[in-house]
Amino acid sequence: MIGRLLLAVIVALAALAEIQVAAQRREPRCPNPPVDGWPELTGCDFGIVRDVCGKPSCAVGPGGMCKYKRFRASNCGEGTFCHCSRCMGCSLHNYNCFETTCVFAMASR
């Protein structure tokens, strides 16, 4: 259990570092943020994530569908990472966990 939690923390820190680097290099397609700043979000069960433009949204919890390729910054909450289009790992907000093995079928010819 401690090994899983340690892995989740390491993955979360790596994802956070990637998000901060992406936020520093502003994407050219990003809209200008509102004058008052982005609105504060409330009621997010798995925390808040920011896209490459810095816009906040509610994070997806363990087992939820994620948007990006594995081990990259995604819409998964703290402690989880995107793999096989699902947020894997353990949420640092409520310690719910999700883990599965992805198997991609080979196309037969």
What are the per-10-residue average pLDDT scores of the chain (109 residues)?
Answer: 70 61 59 85 90 86 79 78 88 89 59
pLDDT at 55: 86
Cβ-contact 70, 104 below 8 angstroms: no
Q: What are phi and psi of 16, to 5 degrees?
A: -65, -40
The first and second tokens of residue 88, run together, are 């894997």
pLDDT at 58: 93
Cα 46 → chain centroid = 10
Burial class (CB in 10 A: 0-12, 13-18, 19+), 98: middle
